[in-house]
């Protein structure tokens, strides 16, 4: 089954400590507390995979997970998921934010095995500076991006659809590589759709 069997590989403070830059990987980014860990756990069907926390600003790392080998274009690959540290939340010290801003920037620019970005956004909060930065990077480099509007269980179906429509409007006309969907880890909404999206990115 899609994205099952993910395993922790390593945690890194710098991109130089990540697994060798070969094969294919998809990165997950989001402001702290957006619901990224919960989303990763839901997608991989592994409750304890990424640490969820009610205290944003805990020690931050880039975490690499490996998936079991899959055939991609006739080649057997062990794809990776990379959990990027979230920041943008006030409690993360400025120095740490600056460090991660530089590392994430370098990662997005340099990582050749990076196939796409999954951006986790709390559906109740419009795009913040961090989210805009990520999207703008994807638009500029044509890196495919898939946005999960998460915690959709906090809104009515109608409100959620409106938020999705508003987000899609903000994708520039020249960003054919950006997609978005409604998601909820708690209510199990959009999980299969998101798995398919990640697999599509890995096959890109």
Binding site for ligand GDP (CB under 6 A): 30, 32-38, 52-54, 56, 86, 150-151, 153-154, 184-186
Least distance (Å) between residue 51 CB and ligand GDP = 7
Residue number, 66 or 185, with CB nearest to ligand GDP: 185
Q: Quote the Cα angle for 104-109-110, to 5°.
A: 100
Residue number, 66 or 150, with CB nearest to ligand GDP: 150
Least distance (Å) between residue 20 CB and ligand GDP = 26
Least distance (Å) between residue 23 CB and ligand GDP = 25
Residue number, 186 or 204, with CB nearest to ligand GDP: 186
CA-CA distance, 162 to 33, in Å (whole number)? Answer: 22
Give the DSSP letter string of 48-78: TSSPP-SSTTS---EEEEE---EEETTEEE-
Strands (E), the chain: 7-12, 25-30, 62-66, 70-72, 75-77, 80-83, 114-122, 145-150, 178-182
Least distance (Å) between residue 54 CB and ligand GDP = 5
Residue number, 60 or 66, with CB nearest to ligand GDP: 60
Residue number, 67 or 118, with CB nearest to ligand GDP: 118
Q: At a CB cut-off of 8 Å and minimum separation 6, what does 179 contact?
A: 144, 145, 146, 147, 197
- What per-residue string of b and e applies to 12-45 under the rule 16 or more CB within 10 Å gives b? beebeebbeeebbbbbbbbbbbbbbbbbbbbbbe
Residue number, 36 or 115, with CB nearest to ligand GDP: 36
Least distance (Å) between residue 86 CB and ligand GDP = 5
Least distance (Å) between residue 149 CB and ligand GDP = 10
């Amino acid at each position: 089954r899609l994205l099952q069997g993910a395993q922790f590989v390593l945690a890194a403070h710098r991109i130089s400590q990540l697994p060798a830059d070969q094969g294919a990987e998809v990165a997950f980014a989001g402001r702290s507390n957006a619901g990224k860990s919960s989303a990763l756990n839901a997608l991989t069907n592994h409750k304890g995979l990424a640490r969820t926390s009610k205290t944003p600003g805990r020690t931050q790392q880039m975490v690499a997970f490996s998936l079991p080998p899959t055939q991609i274009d006739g080649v057997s690959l062990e794809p990776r998921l990379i959990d990027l540290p979230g920041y943008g939340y006030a409690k993360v010290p400025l120095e740490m934010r600056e460090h991660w801003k530089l590392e994430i920037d370098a990662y997005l620019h340099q990582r050749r095995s990076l196939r796409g970005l999954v951006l986790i956004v709390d559906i109740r909060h419009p795009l913040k500076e961090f989210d805009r930065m990520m999207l703008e990077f994807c638009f500029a480099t044509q890196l495919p991006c898939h946005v999960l509007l998460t915690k959709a269980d906090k809104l009515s179906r109608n409100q959620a659809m409106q938020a999705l429509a508003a987000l899609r409007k903000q994708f520039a006309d020249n960003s054919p590589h950006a997609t978005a969907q409604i998601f909820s880890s708690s209510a199990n909404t959009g999980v299969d759709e998101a798995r398919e999206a990640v697999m599509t990115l890995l096959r890109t």
